Chains A and B, each alone.
Chain A
Amino acid sequence: MQNHPSRPSDSEIIRRIIDGDVNSFEYLLNKYQDHVLRIVKKHIPYNEVEETAHNVFVRAYQALPGFKEQGSFKQWLSAITVRTCYDFWRKQYRSRELPMSDLSERHRDWLEKKMSSESDLSFSEESRAKEAGELLDWALSKLSAEDRMVIELVYLEGLSVKEASGLLGWSVSNVKVRSFRSRKKLKTLLTGVISP
């Protein structure tokens, strides 16, 4: 990707910020906010998205002097975003603020209908998106913070183990083992829901 001649590069902006020009950070914020928000929205409950995204940019701002220009800024920021989301869940599990609700009859009925339906309509075209979201939240709430992150990145997002390990800052073997175990846990959970 080529830089536009009139637009400063990320490294140039970072240099300005480190030199004391705080307002230059707004350029990075504008450029990467959609990317950061897209990641945060998928990992964090809706009512906590804004606060978590703020935390991501604050962490990135404070860590700017440590940014090595070996990789891209976007990649570096993605790792900070994923780790901030992981920290959010660790904090939630530690303070036990996580809602541990069970699946209601409404969800089970919906799932039963969904399973027996032969319709091939895409999900977004259907009116019952809320139930699917709640089912996903329920399944993920039964997992630990670590398992949740691995499931979301590898199983749902479709990232490779290496990519997920880079984002989380864990070793590849750790992610591989966790991915296997958490997938097994999720399968047990979901099989319990769909089996009669």
Chain B
Amino acid sequence: MKPLQRKYEALKKILREAYFEKEHAEVSEQWQVNAMRRIRNLGPVQLEPSFFTLFEQFVWRLTPATCLLIIIGAIIFLKLGFFPNYDVLTLFINDTEELSLAQLF
């Protein structure tokens, strides 16, 4: 085995041991009491999913359809030649007496 590879294997062993060493850290004696307090504060388990959960699930399910609609809409607008900026500019150029920027102020 090459020296660098051997060093790497040794380092791997050190890191694995350090990883398992973390298991021995202590937690406070109050930990369980605090956990149970948090659970009691939540009250009985909710069997019906909340409105927010249902809404979230519904929104995500509609995402592909929404993306598809946006793409189809964009293609249709491009095919029809709908350019709102160009239309507004044409309006200004052709009808300057009726509609001018001064009227806005």
Interface residue ranges, A against B (CB under 8 Å): 17-18, 20, 22-23, 25-26, 29-30, 33, 37-38, 41-42, 46, 49-50, 53-54, 57-58, 61-62, 64-65, 111, 114-115, 122-124, 129, 132-133, 135-136, 139, 152, 156-157, 187, 190-191, 193-195
Q: How many whole Å from B11's CB to the nearest CB in chain A?
A: 6
Min Cβ gap A183→B in Å is 10
B45 touches A17 (CB 8 A): yes
- Among B35-43, B81-89, B96-104, the one that faces the other chain is B35-43
B contact face: mostly helix, strand, loop, or mixed: helix
CB contacts (< 8 Å) of B32 on chain A: these are 29-30, 33
Interface residue tally for chain B (C-beta within 8 Å): 33
Decide: A152 and B34 in contact? CB cutoff 8 A. Answer: no
Compute how far the CA of A33 lies from the CA of B32 in the bound complex, rounded to whole angstroms. Answer: 8
Q: Are B11 and A152 in contact (CB under 8 A)?
A: no
- Cβ of B4 < 8 Å from any Cβ of A? yes
Is the pair A50, B36 in contact by a Cβ cutoff of 8 Å? Answer: no
Contacts of B25 in A (CB 8 A): 41, 46, 49
Interface residues of B in 9-67 (CB under 8 A from A): 10-12, 14-23, 25, 27-28, 31-32, 34-36, 38-40, 42-47
CB atoms of B14 and A114 under 8 A apart: yes
- Known pairs A54-B38, A62-B45, A156-B15; A133 contacts B22 (CB<8 A): yes
